[in-house]
């Protein structure tokens, strides 16, 4: 009879490690703390290796595209060239070298900032067409709230309107009550979800590490 | 033509005379019906042994003598119907019913009564193949006839069949005890005894000749009908002969009578078959021998085809009468037993039916000498002088002579049919047709298979087994116009399916493109114009509480205190983040804090270096690596790495990214820098987190803040993360000491610290650009909302699409 020992072993390891780390939060024992820290170090190392593996996989995928002349292989070539150049520059000059920072300051930062500028234009355009695409009360409320917050963010022609700007303004009301309430609800939901997920993994119900 | 000799007086008469000129006797037999008083007639074309109809008793022929009418009346009174007789014959053990026919119908003389009983018994007892029983029946019949048959009949038999065995001879002699024998019969007998040898003849009494069908039930039925009834008279036979024939039929066995009727289509053998080649003496002698007791009865030979016969060579009818009596008795037993004989008899029947008609020729010489027994007129007188048993004979169905039908077909003048006979003609025709078809089917000869040569074989599903040529069908469909139109539409659709659809060329500049361009142009021009022309005059925003708390936290650190600076934002947000954080970092540099740069994003270390250099330039600081700040680099693992860093920063980030220029190695942060006294994060004076992501804020608050203890956390975030940071700030106890959100927060912080920086410079452009964006949204929203209010349905449908 063929036994699949891989799943039980991996599940037992995951459950044991998670349980020890969790106990280390509640009990300040030296052994538990030491084990927890060892596991954390291993996790950091494994995450770094995983990132390196990810970079290698990215390189392989785009290399395959270039070899097979698939669609978009030109972009893959640019990506690989950029990767190799950056790797060589950073490897030769170090992560904080002048040429490394030059590449970063004059290539990467402007590119990403431009994308964010485009995002600003796209958001303005989408807000203008929001009622055309979805004409309902919730869309109207959403658009009205956004306009109020924007107007209250900056003074209108250098003038702050009472009831709109200031700590007692409508913006403070919206951001201090509605926004915080919503954000706390979201955060609580996230926390509960995280706890539930952790318990399921510790109990072996969820095995994201398995096949 | 020769003269016609009168059968009564023997004198010649002209051929066209119907009645004798001398004795007024009828010279020719009455045409139109076979028997003067025959209720039944028999058709040659009919299936043998099957009756076609009955007479109509109410209608009496005009020429019927009274004594025959009396027979009919008696028949109506005492004779059971034909169907009743048939049922009686079919059902076993019905001898009693037949006896009733004899007993109840008329008062038969004793000898006839016994004769009828014996005949019935013999018929029921004689199986087809048991010839012994048949012989026994013959003996019994003959014995019963002794003493009861009139002498004149016995004498006739004795004279005509001198070669018969002794037993039969004795019987004949006993029958020949003739009292009251007519003179003419006596004369005939004398003449035969004088040397007129009757030619051997297969004498067949008309009307009672053998039935080809061989159906025993039918025979018994007809036998009952014949018993005690005048036998049908064929054409050319005078009435007195019919009477004599009648008597003979009564003396015969019933099955004989039935069998003889099968050949009623032909001329009676006893009258016309004389001199025939079939009636050879050998054959008769053989039959006589076969009928003799103690010998096996041979199966009767199939009767050959009877050719036309001439009356000149016909032997004496009386000799044939005796011979036929013996012969038929011998033939009956095997005839009714063998079913295989049926087909042969049918064949004979068919052949005999083809026999040419008998011409009414003058009587032969031997007959010339005989004296006609009666004329019609004498018959009436004779009725008074008839013996009692004749008068009491029941009028029964007799076999009608099919001869009349035959003759009629052949052109011989028909006699007048009585009304009762005409009435039954239609049914006769139908039955005849049916019988003919049956005969033809039975005569079919099998041509293939194991039954080759056999007749009457039932065809083995002829319609199914018949191989026919496959009929051709038209493959052209009849399609209505409506279906044709649909087919055409479908064909056109299929044709267009393979063709590439023409894609309409998009307009290079559409309304959406225009709108986007307008938004871009409006915002860009506003920002550019504000940046270059008078943007600085715009009033800075009032500083909020969180900004104030953030500045107080920075202000609260001691000079040269280690500050953990987490640069966890993306390069894309660098403009906003730098505008918001530059003033805070500048504030820290003013405080102389030892900045320890760390990041949980891969680009964080570079951004940290960029930010320090930017602040150095703007704030005229001279922060140098490893002296005033240290870059620990990237912490992999996300939340896990952050937790690990929070718990054991020395192990996670043991060295900096900076290479010692003196040693050429990485600087050991926790040993060689100002951080050598630090063992945990809580030893840092301040933790400043620069991030645009709410998740990163949450990670730092959840993973690092618990280990910081009294060390405050200040957040510099993007404006988008403000809503999620605020709960940590507004909570009690505060998880973050203060935060600066976006350009507005940076401008506020600059305003608070009185060190205007990039945020203040951008504030004018930011404000004007934000106002333009608000206007665009308002105008665009109004334009797109108005049609929705006018046509809500259409807009809804468009939204779905």
- Sequential DSSP letters for B469-500: PPPP--------HHHHHHHHHHHHHHHHHHSP
Partners of A152 on chain B (C-beta within 8 Å) are: none
* pLDDT at B95 > cutoff 50: no
Q: What is the DSSP-derived secondary structure letter of residue B674?
A: G
Q: Are A124 and A79 found together in one domain?
A: no
Question: How much is the pLDDT for B715?
Answer: 92
Q: Are A15 and A79 found together in one domain?
A: yes
Q: How confident is the model at residue B114 (pLDDT cuts 50, 70, 90)?
A: low
- Measure A109 CA to nearest chain B CA, in Å: 5
Question: How much is the pLDDT for B6?
Answer: 81
* pLDDT at B777 > cutoff 50: yes
- Which of B89-93, B163-167, B603-607 tops mean pLDDT? B603-607
Question: How much is the pLDDT for A81?
Answer: 92
User: CB distance from A157 to chain B under 8 Å?
Assistant: yes
Which residue among A115, A120, A135 sits closest to B799, beta carbon to beta carbon? A135
Q: What is the pLDDT of residues A11-54, one digit of tens each?
A: 888 888 888 888 877 887 888 888 888 888 888 899 889 989 99
Partners of B726 on chain A (C-beta within 8 Å) are: 175-176, 179-180, 183
Average pLDDT for B766-777: 86
Which residue among A47, A132, A143 sits closest to B640, beta carbon to beta carbon? A47
Nearest Cα residue in chain B from A24 = B647
Nearest Cα residue in chain A from B781 = A128
Nearest Cα residue in chain B from A178 = B723
Question: How much is the pLDDT for B546?
Answer: 87
Q: Which two structure tokens, joined as six digits, stand for A6?
A: 């891989």
Partners of A143 on chain B (C-beta within 8 Å) are: 777, 781
Average pLDDT for B145-157: 56
Nearest Cα residue in chain B from A168 = B544
User: What is the helix (H) or strand (E) element at residue B562, kind and residue range?
Assistant: strand B562-568
List the beta strands (DSSP E) in B692-750: 713-717, 738-741
**In this complex, do B730 and A176 lie within 8 Å of one another by their Cβ atoms?**
yes
Question: How much is the pLDDT for B33?
Answer: 45
Q: What percent of chain A has pLDDT over 90?
A: 15
Question: How much is the pLDDT for A49?
Answer: 92
**In this complex, do B539 and A158 lie within 8 Å of one another by their Cβ atoms?**
yes
Average pLDDT for B531-560: 82
Helices (H) and strands (E) in chain B, counts: 36, 10
- Residues B567 and B597: their CA atoms lie apart, in Å, by 7
Q: What is the pLDDT of residues B390-409, one digit of tens each?
A: 556 555 444 444 444 555 55
Q: How confident is the model at residue B567 (pLDDT cuts 50, 70, 90)?
A: very high
Beta bridge pairs of residue B630: B596
**In this complex, do A95 and B651 lie within 8 Å of one another by their Cβ atoms?**
no
Q: Are A3 and A83 found together in one domain?
A: yes
Average pLDDT for A121-137: 82
Residues in contact with B323: Cβ distance below 8 Å, sequence separation at least 6, in sequence order:
B160, B161, B198, B200, B201, B202, B203, B279, B284
User: What is the helix (H) or strand (E) element at residue B629, kind and residue range?
Assistant: strand B629-634
Partners of A133 on chain B (C-beta within 8 Å) are: 799
- Which of B448-457, B503-512, B551-560 tops mean pLDDT? B551-560
Q: What is the pLDDT of residues A75-107, one digit of tens each?
A: 899 999 999 999 999 888 888 888 888 988 898
Q: How confident is the model at residue B688 (pLDDT cuts 50, 70, 90)?
A: very high
Nearest Cα residue in chain A from B799 = A133
Question: How much is the pLDDT for A191?
Answer: 87
- Sequential DSSP letters for B563-585: EEEEEE--GGGHHHHHHHHHHHH
Instruction: List the domain boundaries for chain B.
Output: 4-26+36-439, 512-534+762-786, 542-755
- Sequential DSSP letters for A20-88: HHHHHHH---HHHHHHHHHHHHHHHHHHHHHHHHHHHHHHHHHHHHHHHT-TTHHHHHHHHHHHHHHHH
User: CB distance from A185 to chain B under 8 Å?
Assistant: no
**In this complex, do A48 and B637 lie within 8 Å of one another by their Cβ atoms?**
yes
- Residues B591 and A82: their CA atoms lie apart, in Å, by 40
- Measure A195 CA to nearest chain B CA, in Å: 13
Residues constituting chain A: 211
Q: What is the DSSP-derived secondary structure letter of residue B687?
A: E
- Measure A3 CA to nearest chain B CA, in Å: 33
Q: What is the pLDDT of residues B569-581, one digit of tens each?
A: 989 888 888 888 9
Q: Are A4 and A79 found together in one domain?
A: yes
* pLDDT at B150 > cutoff 60: no
Question: If we measure between CA atoms, which residue out of B160, B188, B187 comes closest to residue B172?
Answer: B160
Chain A, 112-141: which have a CB under 8 Å from a chain B CB?
112-113, 115-116, 120-121, 124-125, 127-135, 140
Residues in contact with A106: Cβ distance below 8 Å, sequence separation at least 6, in sequence order:
none
**In this complex, do B785 and A165 lie within 8 Å of one another by their Cβ atoms?**
no
More confident residue, B721 or B191: B721
Q: How many domains does chain A have?
A: 3
Residues in contact with B762: Cβ distance below 8 Å, sequence separation at least 6, in sequence order:
B531, B579, B743, B747
* pLDDT at B337 > cutoff 50: no
Cβ–Cβ < 8 Å for B370, B463: no
Q: Are A7 and A87 found together in one domain?
A: yes
Nearest Cα residue in chain B from A93 = B659
**In this complex, do A109 and B767 lie within 8 Å of one another by their Cβ atoms?**
no
User: CB distance from A176 to chain B under 8 Å?
Assistant: yes
* pLDDT at B790 > cutoff 60: yes
Q: Are A63 and A121 found together in one domain?
A: no
Question: How much is the pLDDT for B464?
Answer: 56
**In this complex, do B659 and A94 lie within 8 Å of one another by their Cβ atoms?**
yes
| Residue at which a domain ends, from A77, A111, A128 | A128
Q: What is the pLDDT of residues B517-536, one digit of tens each?
A: 888 888 888 888 887 877 66
Average pLDDT for B35-41: 42
Cβ–Cβ < 8 Å for B582, B746: yes
More confident residue, B507 or B549: B549
Question: How much is the pLDDT for A54?
Answer: 92
Q: Are A76 and A99 found together in one domain?
A: no
* pLDDT at B177 > cutoff 90: no
Cβ–Cβ < 8 Å for B253, B137: yes
Question: How much is the pLDDT for B217?
Answer: 42
**In this complex, do A153 and B724 lie within 8 Å of one another by their Cβ atoms?**
no
Q: How confident is the model at residue B186 (pLDDT cuts 50, 70, 90)?
A: low
- Which of A189-198, B59-68, B205-214, B318-327 tops mean pLDDT? A189-198
Long-range contacts of B337-343 (CB under 8 A, 24+ apart): B337/B126, B337/B127, B337/B128, B337/B129, B337/B130, B338/B128, B338/B129, B338/B214, B338/B299, B339/B128, B339/B214, B341/B214, B341/B299, B341/B300, B341/B302, B342/B212, B342/B213, B342/B214, B343/B442, B343/B455, B343/B456
Q: Are A2 and A67 found together in one domain?
A: yes
Partners of A102 on chain B (C-beta within 8 Å) are: none
* pLDDT at B273 > cutoff 50: no
**In this complex, do A131 and B788 lie within 8 Å of one another by their Cβ atoms?**
yes
- Measure B551 CA to nearest chain A CA, in Å: 18
Q: Pairing state of beta strands B738-741 and B713-717?
A: parallel
Question: How much is the pLDDT for B318?
Answer: 55
Q: Pairing state of beta strands B562-568 and B594-599?
A: parallel
What is the SS3 assignment for B107-162? CCCHHHHHHHHHHHHHHHHCCCCCHHHHHHHHHHHHHHHCCCCCHHHHHHHHHHCC
CATH of range B542-755; options 1.10.357, 3.30.1480, 3.40.50, 3.30.230 = 3.40.50
Q: Could you list the residue range(s) of the whole structural domain that residue A123 is in?
A: 94-128
Beta bridge pairs of residue B668: B655
Cβ–Cβ < 8 Å for B678, B652: no
- Measure A181 CA to nearest chain B CA, in Å: 8
Q: Are A121 and A141 found together in one domain?
A: no
Question: What does pLDDT average to over chain B?
Answer: 66
Q: A with B: how many residue pairs have Cβ under 8 Å apart?
A: 199
User: Among B428-432, B663-667, B724-728, which is the least confidently predicted range?
Assistant: B428-432
Q: Which two structure tokens, joined as six digits, stand for B545?
A: 């509480």
Cβ–Cβ < 8 Å for B575, A113: yes
Which residue among A36, A95, A133 sits closest to B657, beta carbon to beta carbon? A95
* pLDDT at B146 > cutoff 50: yes
Which residue among B644, B730, B778 sits closest to A40, beta carbon to beta carbon? B644
- Residues B453 and B216: their CA atoms lie apart, in Å, by 26
Question: If we measure between CA atoms, which residue out of B111, B109, B170, B116 comes closest to residue B139?
Answer: B170
**In this complex, do A115 and B637 lie within 8 Å of one another by their Cβ atoms?**
no
Question: How much is the pLDDT for A77?
Answer: 92
Q: Which two structure tokens, joined as six digits, stand for A5?
A: 């020992």
Nearest Cα residue in chain A from B520 = A121
- Which of B113-127, B613-627, B679-693 tops mean pLDDT? B679-693
Nearest Cα residue in chain B from A160 = B541
> What end-to-end distance do the CA atoms of chain A give, in Å?
21
Chain A, 50-89: which have a CB under 8 Å from a chain B CB?
51
Partners of A94 on chain B (C-beta within 8 Å) are: 657-659
* pLDDT at A57 > cutoff 90: yes
- Measure B480 CA to nearest chain A CA, in Å: 49
Q: Are A86 and A105 found together in one domain?
A: no
Average pLDDT for B51-66: 47
Q: How confident is the model at residue B375 (pLDDT cuts 50, 70, 90)?
A: low
Q: Are A77 and A107 found together in one domain?
A: no
User: CB distance from A95 to chain B under 8 Å?
Assistant: yes
Q: Which two structure tokens, joined as six digits, stand for B502?
A: 């023409």
Q: What is the pLDDT of residues B276-325, one digit of tens each?
A: 444 444 544 554 554 444 444 444 444 444 444 444 445 555 555 555 45
- Residues B399 and B208: their CA atoms lie apart, in Å, by 7
Q: How confident is the model at residue B372 (pLDDT cuts 50, 70, 90)?
A: low
Partners of A179 on chain B (C-beta within 8 Å) are: 722-723, 726
Residue to test with chain A: of B595, B602, B773, most A Cβ within 10 A: B773
Average pLDDT for B244-254: 50
Question: How much is the pLDDT for A176?
Answer: 80
Q: Are A194 and A151 found together in one domain?
A: yes
* pLDDT at B481 > cutoff 70: yes
User: CB distance from A195 to chain B under 8 Å?
Assistant: no
Output the pTM of the full model: 0.51
**In this complex, do B647 and A37 lie within 8 Å of one another by their Cβ atoms?**
yes
Question: How much is the pLDDT for B361?
Answer: 53
- Sequential DSSP letters for B498-512: HSPPPPPPPPSS-HH
- Residues B109 and B90: their CA atoms lie apart, in Å, by 27
**In this complex, do B636 and A47 lie within 8 Å of one another by their Cβ atoms?**
yes
User: Among B95-104, B428-437, B597-606, B655-664, which is the least confidently predicted range?
Assistant: B95-104
- Residues B643 and B633: their CA atoms lie apart, in Å, by 16
**In this complex, do A121 and B659 lie within 8 Å of one another by their Cβ atoms?**
no
- Measure B575 CA to nearest chain A CA, in Å: 7
* pLDDT at B136 > cutoff 60: no
Which residue among B519, B652, B796 sits closest to A124, beta carbon to beta carbon? B519
As for the ipTM of the complex, it is 0.86
- Measure B795 CA to nearest chain A CA, in Å: 8
Question: How much is the pLDDT for A177?
Answer: 84
């Amino acid at each position: 009879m063929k036994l699949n020992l891989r799943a039980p072993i991996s599940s037992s390891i995951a459950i044991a490690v998670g349980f020890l780390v969790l106990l280390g939060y509640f009990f300040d024992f030296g052994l538990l703390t030491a084990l927890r820290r060892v596991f954390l170090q291993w996790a950091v190392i494994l995450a770094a290796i995983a990132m390196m593996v990810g970079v290698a996989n990215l390189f392989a995928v785009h290399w395959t595209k270039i070899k097979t002349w698939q669609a978009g292989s030109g972009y893959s070539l640019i990506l690989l060239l950029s990767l190799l150049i950056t790797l060589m520059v950073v490897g030769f000059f170090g992560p904080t070298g002048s040429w490394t920072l030059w590449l970063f300051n004059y290539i990467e930062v402007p590119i990403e900032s431009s994308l964010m500028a485009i995002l600003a234009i796209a958001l303005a355009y989408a807000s203008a067409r929001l009622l055309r695409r979805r004409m309902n009360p919730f869309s109207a409320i959403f658009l009205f709230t956004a306009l109020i917050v924007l107007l209250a963010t900056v003074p209108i022609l250098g003038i702050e309107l009472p009831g709109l700007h200031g700590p007692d303004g409508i913006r403070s009301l919206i951001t201090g009550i509605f926004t915080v309430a919503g954000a706390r609800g979201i955060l609580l939901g996230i926390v509960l979800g995280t706890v539930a997920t952790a318990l399921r993994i510790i109990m072996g119900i969820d095995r994201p590490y398995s096949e | 033509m020769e003269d016609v000799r009168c059968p009564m007086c023997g004198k010649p008469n002209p051929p066209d005379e119907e009645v004798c000129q001398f004795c007024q006797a009828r010279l020719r037999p009455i045409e139109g019906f076979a028997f003067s008083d025959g209720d039944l007639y028999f058709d040659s074309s009919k299936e043998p042994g099957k009756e076609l109809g009955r007479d109509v008793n109410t209608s009496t022929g005009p020429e019927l003598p009274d004594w025959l009418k009396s027979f009919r009346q008696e028949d109506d009174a005492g004779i059971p119907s034909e169907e009743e007789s048939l049922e009686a014959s079919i059902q076993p053990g019905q001898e009693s019913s037949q006896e009733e026919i004899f007993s109840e119908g008329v008062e038969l003389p004793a000898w006839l009564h016994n004769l009828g009983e014996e005949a019935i018994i013999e018929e029921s007892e004689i199986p087809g193949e048991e010839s012994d029983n048949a012989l026994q029946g013959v003996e019994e019949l003959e014995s019963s006839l002794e003493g009861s048959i009139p002498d004149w009949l016995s004498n006739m038999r004795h004279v005509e069949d001198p070669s018969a065995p002794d037993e039969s001879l004795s019987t004949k002699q006993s029958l020949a005890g003739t009292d009251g024998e007519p003179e003419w019969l006596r004369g005939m007998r004398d003449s035969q005894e004088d040397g007129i040898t009757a030619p051997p003849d297969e004498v067949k009494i008309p009307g009672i000749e053998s039935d080809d069908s061989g159906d025993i039930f039918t025979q018994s039925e007809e036998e009952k009908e014949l018993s005690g009834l005048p036998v049908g008279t064929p054409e050319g036979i005078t009435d007195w002969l019919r009477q004599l024939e009648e008597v003979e039929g009564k003396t015969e066995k019933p099955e004989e009578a039935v069998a003889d009727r099968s050949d009623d289509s032909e001329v009676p053998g006893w009258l016309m078959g004389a001199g025939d080649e079939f009636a050879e003496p050998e054959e008769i002698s053989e039959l006589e021998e076969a009928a003799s007791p103690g010998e096996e009865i041979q199966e009767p030979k199939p009767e050959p085809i009877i050719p036309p016969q001439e009356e000149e060579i016909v032997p004496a009818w009386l000799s044939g009468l005796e011979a036929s009596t013996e012969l038929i008795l011998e033939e009956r037993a095997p005839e009714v037993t063998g079913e295989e004989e049926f087909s042969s008899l049918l064949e004979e029947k068919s052949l005999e039916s083809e026999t040419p008609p008998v011409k009414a020729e003058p009587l032969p010489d031997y007959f010339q000498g005989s004296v006609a027994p009666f004329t019609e007129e004498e018959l009436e007188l004779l009725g008074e002088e008839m013996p009692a048993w004749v008068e009491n004979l029941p009028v029964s169905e007799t076999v009608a002579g099919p001869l009349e039908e035959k003759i009629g077909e052949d052109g011989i003048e028909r006699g007048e049919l009585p009304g009762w006979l005409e009435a039954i003609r239609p049914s006769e025709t139908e039955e005849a047709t049916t019988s003919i078809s049956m005969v033809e089917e039975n005569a079919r000869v099998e041509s293939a298979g194991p039954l080759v040569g056999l007749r009457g074989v039932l065809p083995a599903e002829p319609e199914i087994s018949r191989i026919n040529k496959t009929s051709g069908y038209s493959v052209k469909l009849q399609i209505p116009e409506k279906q044709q139109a649909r087919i055409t539409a479908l064909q056109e659709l299929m044709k267009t399916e393979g063709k590439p659809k023409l894609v309409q060329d998009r307009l290079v500049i559409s309304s959406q493109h225009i709108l986007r361009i307008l938004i871009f142009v409006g915002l860009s021009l506003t920002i550019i114009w504000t940046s270059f022309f008078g943007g600085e005059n715009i009033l800075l925003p009032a500083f909020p509480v969180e900004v104030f708390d953030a500045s107080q936290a920075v202000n609260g650190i001691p000079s040269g205190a280690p500050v953990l600076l987490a640069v966890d934002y993306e390069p894309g947000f660098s403009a906003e983040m730098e505008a918001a954080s530059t003033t805070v970092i500048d504030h820290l540099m003013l405080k102389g804090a030892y900045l320890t740069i760390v990041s949980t994003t891969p680009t964080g270390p570079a951004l940290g270096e960029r930010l320090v250099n930017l602040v150095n330039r703007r704030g005229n600081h001279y922060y140098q690596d490893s002296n005033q700040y240290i870059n620990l680099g990237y912490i992999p693992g996300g939340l896990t790495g952050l937790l690990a860093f929070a718990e054991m920063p020395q192990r996670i980030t043991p060295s900096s990214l900076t290479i010692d220029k003196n040693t050429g190695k990485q600087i050991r942060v926790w040993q060689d820098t100002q951080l050598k006294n630090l063992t945990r994060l809580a030893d840092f004076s301040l933790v400043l987190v620069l991030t645009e992501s709410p998740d990163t804020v949450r990670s730092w608050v959840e993973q690092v803040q618990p280990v910081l203890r009294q060390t405050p956390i200040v957040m510099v975030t993007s404006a988008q993360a403000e809503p999620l940071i605020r709960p940590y700030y507004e909570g009690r106890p505060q998880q973050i000491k203060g935060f600066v959100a976006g350009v507005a927060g940076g401008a506020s912080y600059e305003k608070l610290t009185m060190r205007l920086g990039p945020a203040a410079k951008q504030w004018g452009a930011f404000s004007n650009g934000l106002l333009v964006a608000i206007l665009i949204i308002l105008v665009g929203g109004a334009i797109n909302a108005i049609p929705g209010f006018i046509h809500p349905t259409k807009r809804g449908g468009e939204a779905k699409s």
